[in-house]
Chain A
Amino acid sequence: MKTITEIRKDFPILNMKVNGKSLVYLDNAASSQKPVQALDAFCRFCESRYANVHRGVHTLGEHATTDYEAARTKVAEFVNAPSSKGIIFTRGTTESINLVAYAFGRRFVKHGQAILLTPMEHHANLVPWQLMAKSVGAELRFWPMKPDGTLDMEAGKKLLDSSVALVAITHVSNVLGTINPVREIALMAHQVGAKVLVDGAQAVPHMPVDLTEIDADFYAFSGHKMLGPTGIGVLWGRLDVLEDMEPFLTGGEMIKEVYLDHATWNDLPYKFEAGTPPISEAITLSAAISYLNDVGMEWVYSHTRALTSKAYELLSQEPGVTVYGPAVDRGPVVAFNVAGIHPHDLAALLDQEGVAIRAGHHCAQPLMRWLEVQATARASFYLYNTMEEIDVMMDAIRMAKKVLRVA
């Protein structure tokens, strides 16, 4: 078991000085930093085993294909997917959800049916459904939320009837930190014949996720928020559902036979991986997953939970600060506002102290309206953050209040 000091040594960027101060990186919900183990894996692969996959019969082609498929298996095991054939590599969560909106939604959601969403969705799990619903004449419904930012399960049940074709819901809110009961929701949805997509972008990096147990139909997440590179994401889909779907992107790799006037589709998962896939990114993601496995996802979860509790508590006690989202059982993000300070000013002043936080609408404008704010500040934590860093953030917030003369 690595100590936190050892973990921090694996992330060279954490030694950086920002504006003369030690970097305190608290923008992990936007993107995480990368350990040397993942960066090394990328270099080793590109230096010694790189070629295109599933094409060349030459040695490097074989090596690259072996490593790429091993990465798929690694991902499947990490989230306990029922089958690695259901693991599709995409560019990210956004592409994963768009894939489902096009290849499933436009084919299987009928005029007059409904898509059930929540007001806390990231734009990536909202806008694709708006377009899809418009194109087929479907209705969008929104699962009501309670004032603390958790779902109102009773109110939601009333909306979940047999006219709902799909429930698309985030596992963990990127603003409120709310952890939604996705297993219970999947069960409820299946009882009325609806399919379920879960946006796991903020869940998979931070807690043990078991896709077999959740039993949704689709589950999407990104590599770059879980110590991996940008440009790679994952869509897991149930095999029978994926089999019935037509391709999303078309071209090379996803075909079986091509004639001048028509083509047939490759087997899963390749049917949904048109063109050259993110090969080196998959290998790097695999190394990032090995790193998380070494540390242990249970440890990651409890560590970030402790950080989150401390931040939530200190922020709640700080005069003039409003904290959003549930007080307990939350993911490692804390959105807040300081009275009299626009979040962008706060983020700029915190940056002066080396503290990186996010400020803005967090790609969740409907949720900002629900909270009746323009924007919020947000601190988000990961395995390499320390309790002391939260104290540094709190000092920086007090300094910002002083600079902007907020009592």
Chain B
Amino acid sequence: MSHDLYGEILLDHYRLPRNHGRLENPTITVEGTNPLCGDELTLDLEFTGDHLTNISFSGRGCAISVAATSMLTELLKGKTIHEIEEWTGNFRTFIREGKAPDGVDMGDIQSLAGVAQLPVRVKCATLPWTTLEQGLVRYKGT
């Protein structure tokens, strides 16, 4: 199970994370932690109106949380808030049930399917999504 978990796609995102680093002028910076693992994540979000025009992440974490965050940034950069909320719902279904909602292509995120069977690690994969949600709430409040 674990070997499948640490498959090529996940390892690729872990070793060469997309959108890694800090943004110069983020609209919102939001931090998330996973006390169980000690994962620490900082998301820089740059909004233009309804669009998430840029996103980057930094911090420390396990392979699953780093890869999951990298995949999130790749998927959501350029999306509207409405689309992001839709994807958040899709991800929640996916990580709960281990498969994507009907008709939805999760792309690289599909490689996290094995995590759904490991309750202890679900939080690692979910961390970037819950952190982003907090960022959206803050942006909408501004």
Contacts and interface: CB of A to CB of B under 8 A. Distances in A.
Interface string A314-347: 0000000000000000000000000001111100
A344 B62 contact: yes
B1 A404 contact: no
Contact of A349 (B2, B14, B40, B121): B2
Interface stretch (B3-11, B49-57, B84-92): B3-11
Contacts of B5: 348
Contacts of B101: none
A34 B128 CA distance: 40
Contacts of B38: 360-361, 368, 374-375
A344 B1 contact: no
B126 to A, nearest CB: 14
Nearest to B33: A374
B15 interface: yes
Q: How large is the interface on A (under 10, 10 to 19, 20 to 34, 35 or more residues)?
A: 10 to 19
Interface in B1-56: 1-3, 5-6, 11, 14-15, 36-40
A19 interface: yes
Contacts of B3: 349, 352, 403
B63 interface: yes
A351 B124 contact: no
Interface residues of B, number: 21
Given A403-B3, A405-B11, A348 B36 contact: no
Interface string A371-407: 0001100000000000000000000000000011100
Contacts of B118: 348
> Which of B1, B2, B3 has most chain A Cβ within 10 Å?
B2
A336 to B, nearest CB: 16
A404 B36 contact: no
B138 interface: no
> Which of B14, B38, B121, B124 has most chain A Cβ within 10 Å?
B38
A360 B11 CA distance: 21
Interface string B56-97: 000011111000000000000000000000000000000000
A348 B37 contact: no
A344 B2 contact: no
Nearest to A348: B2
Contacts of B63: 341-342, 345, 404
Interface in A11-68: 19
Nearest to B2: A352
Contacts of B6: 345, 348-349, 403-404
> Which of A19, A341, A344, A368 has most chain B Cβ within 10 Å?
A344
A19 B4 CA distance: 13
A31 B61 CA distance: 26
B1 A352 contact: yes
B121 to A, nearest CB: 7
A342 B62 contact: yes
B2 A374 contact: no
Contacts of A349: 2-3, 6
A97 to B, nearest CB: 22
Nearest to A349: B2
Nearest to B4: A352
Contacts of A368: 38
B42 to A, nearest CB: 14
> Which of A342, A352, A360 has most chain B Cβ within 10 Å?
A342
A343 B38 CA distance: 10
Interface of A: 19, 341-345, 348-349, 351-352, 360-361, 368, 374-375, 403-405
Chain A to chain B: the 4 pairs with minimum beta-carbon distance, closest first: A374-B38, A342-B62, A352-B2, A375-B38
29 contacts: A19-B2, A342-B61, A342-B62, A342-B63, A343-B62, A344-B121, A344-B124, A345-B6, A345-B63, A345-B64, A348-B2, A348-B5, A348-B118, A348-B121, A349-B3, A349-B6, A351-B2, A352-B1, A360-B36, A360-B37, A360-B38, A361-B38, A368-B38, A374-B37, A374-B39, A375-B38, A404-B11, A404-B14, A405-B11
